[in-house]
Amino acid sequence: MTGRVFAIIECVAGHPTGVSLAALTGLLGIPKPTVMRIANDLARRGLLERDRNGYRMGRRTAELGTRAAHRQELRGDALPHLHELYATVGHCVFLTALVAPSQSWSMC
């Protein structure tokens, strides 16, 4: 069940303007009643939103993503190195993290 929930979320995330129930069913190969039941439950919980174009990511996903990002220890681990780099070069330094699309777990 969890795999299907995650597959639906991943698929919807890959379609920022929305994805219809029929498209989700076709892309995922999951029976339509199952997709509808899961997607509607996710919409009730705020993880997805539903409109005339279908489903798209909900505001709750952004909130959860922000919480997860705050728990990352990357900044704390990198801070001493950033200070050292700043002291060496005398210019502003930034820490960024790039996630390549090829590294996503999307099933769509």
CATH of the domain at 46: 1.10.10.10
| DSSP code string of 23-87 | HHHHHHT--HHHHHHHHHHHHHTTSEEEETTEEEE-HHHHHHHHHHHHT--HHHHHHHHHHHHHH
In a domain, residue 75? The reply is no
pTM value?
0.65
Question: What does the pLDDT look like over 11-69, one tens digit per residue?
Answer: 999 998 899 999 999 999 999 999 999 999 999 999 999 998 899 999 998 888 877 77
Q: Give 11: exposed, middle or buried? Use CB within 10 Å, 0-12, 13-18, 19+.
A: buried
Tokens found for residue 66: 């922000």
Total domains in the chain come to 1
Instruction: Specify if 35 maps to a domain.
Output: yes
CA 23 to chain centre: 19
Residue 15 in domain: yes
Residue 29 forms part of a structural domain: yes
Determine the residue type at 16: P
